[in-house]
Amino acid sequence: MTRNPIYVGLLIAASGWVVWFARVDLIVVWVLLAVVLVAKARVEERRLVTRFGDDYREYAAHTPLMLWRRGIR
């Protein structure tokens, strides 16, 4: 379902805190967390392409980076 299940889990858990406490500053922190995790996933993705080449590209074509966007940018 995702190439980064730990990152998705962190975002889901953090969104639970945002909803539970219903504070605007937590929304900002959640957005920053999402940006950092997506950027980190893209860096890791480049390393995996370098290491595994076409095998990783084929895997990425069928599995979303998080829960969206299949393939590699």
Tens digit of each residue's pLDDT (9 = 90 or more) over 1-32? 899 999 999 999 999 999 999 999 999 999 99
pTM of the model: 0.84
Per-residue exposure over 41-64, b if at least 16 CB sit within 10 Å of its own CB, e if not: beeebeebeeeeeeebeeebeeee
Per-residue exposure over 14-24, b if at least 16 CB sit within 10 Å of its own CB, e if not: beeebeeeeee
Query: What pLDDT is attached to residue 73?
Result: 65
Query: What pLDDT is attached to residue 15?
Result: 95
Average pLDDT, the chain: 92
Residue pair 41/66 in contact (Cβ under 8 Å)? The answer is yes
**pLDDT grade, residue 59 (50/70/90)?**
very high
Query: What pLDDT is attached to residue 9?
Result: 95
